[in-house]
Chains A and B, each alone.
Chain A
């Protein structure tokens, strides 16, 4: 079997995004020594340069400005590239963009599809097996995808990024006339770039530090942010905090907020109500800091500290900065 695996490549500032490099890494493994890895990009010539440094043999390229890159336009171009490259499998990074395109591309190209995938294997001529977390990470399922074509969006951070390897790809221009006319009326009007110092977003972060009512007052919440900053972590909150208006609802973790599954989740002054726990229980390692030794959060945590967050947090931030070699502040 010599499958061609096509990666839908995304760039940011002329460089491949992390999730795209992860997809290229997975594609190389799946294609093996006799298969091949190709890419399709909407990023034009600057993306091409980035792709060349990852040893891709063939690249299908369109130059679609981000203002017009709707999921419908991208799916149409990607399906066209998938046909031309005779791909059996299209891989996408697990970004907002990648996941948004998956369903459309599956229909457009006549493929089986899955998203949020953490393991993938080609198990037969028309069969791919995937594993993926479900129910906010409370369970994991294995699925069999059948048929000659498959589209898969990977879960971010689940795979290692491909290493660079030089090459000169053959470039094929994609014909923009495949984009349905109905896509023309949608327009991205603006992009407010994420603030450089604002840290990772909750759903991307590998570490999350969350504060609850146990922080006592809005004025103390900066202690959570300082610990998060020292760890390169995102900041989360319980609903008690967002309801009290200490932080906006976009910070809320739980049933009615975000579900997160970082490598490390630090819950500070959070009691561990079920509605909070369902949003973070699938984190790999959980630390709880709470004055009440019988708080339910200690039942789901891996490490527990019984004590006052207001005194422990500054010490913890100092220790983290020291160990990571960051200047004390």
Chain B
């Protein structure tokens, strides 16, 4: 099975977020970007599938600025066989539909039985890319997937928890899957593999190539205008009490009368 896994560098969880000086977007300066969250799960899932199906390969693909290269190297260190960086526009763009168009233009030229991604990116949380890519490639797509398994050479089974309950699906290949699953302990890379990944070749598809292929669609249509952080929390109001009953009564009163969040 030729597995493509889509990854996006996102700020590590502990990052202190702030806005750019013009206030329009998050400031990338001083932030460590990593392979994390649902994308990390997607890489883990891709590797598990590869291990269960001899002859399979994993191809990591990332769209965006130059920092994608480092995230792709992280995927290689974990076991991806090859990597492609689809360069974004020089002025930057975080339009998920544009990202999907750029990625699909590249995927059209590489083998892909299964395209795996996180159900959404850990930063913008749009969840638009997997479905949009599938529509562009003309293949089925399934978001919010857990328990993905291959059922022979040309099909998959998986679960999907929805508001109504847990659905069980059978799907043909090729298709696109957005993963909901988050492993607590996805494998970590071994040091020799990290060192090797630094020299691994990464194929670059430059923006002029993509932009020519996309023609009129190469312009973002979703544009960030303002990035705001909430006022920092100032610490809890501590509730004094002598008995558990007093604690309960005081808390319920505050939730009803002050916070107004009591059901």
Contacts and interface: CB of A to CB of B under 8 A. Distances in A.
B142 A100 contact: yes
Interface stretch (B68-76, B106-114, B130-138): B130-138
A145 B222 CA distance: 5
Given A102-B131, A305-B241, A278 B165 contact: no
A182 B184 contact: no
Interface in A166-204: 180, 182-183, 185-194, 201, 204
Nearest to A300: B233
Contacts of A318: 248
Nearest to B182: A256
Q: Which of A134, A136, A249: most chain B CB closer than 10 A?
A: A134
Nearest to A250: B161
Contact of B13 (A274, A306, A320): A274
A305 B236 CA distance: 9
Interface residues of A, number: 100
A116 B256 CA distance: 28
Contacts, number: 292
Contacts of B91: none
Nearest to A185: B172
Name A's interface SS.
Answer: mixed
A312 interface: yes
B162 A97 contact: yes
B245 interface: yes
Interface stretch (A32-40, A106-114, A210-218): A106-114
B225 A315 contact: no
A77 to B, nearest CB: 13
A86 interface: no
Interface in A277-303: 278, 281-282, 284-288, 293, 298-303
Given A191-B167, A312-B244, A319-B245, A104 B261 contact: no
Contact of B129 (A97, A103, A132): A103
Interface in B214-250: 221-230, 233, 235-239, 241, 243-245, 247-249
A307 interface: yes
Name B's interface SS.
Answer: mixed
Contact of B169 (A101, A187, A302): A187
B9 interface: no
B168 interface: yes
Given A192-B165, A316-B247, A303 B97 contact: no
A115 B236 contact: no
A303 B230 CA distance: 18
Interface string A136-152: 10111111111100000
A179 B112 CA distance: 22
Interface of A: 12, 17, 70-72, 75, 95-97, 99-104, 106-108, 112-116, 129, 132-136, 138-147, 180, 182-183, 185-194, 201, 204, 206-207, 231-232, 239, 242-243, 249-250, 252, 255-257, 263-264, 274-275, 278, 281-282, 284-288, 293, 298-307, 311-312, 314-316, 318-320, 323-324
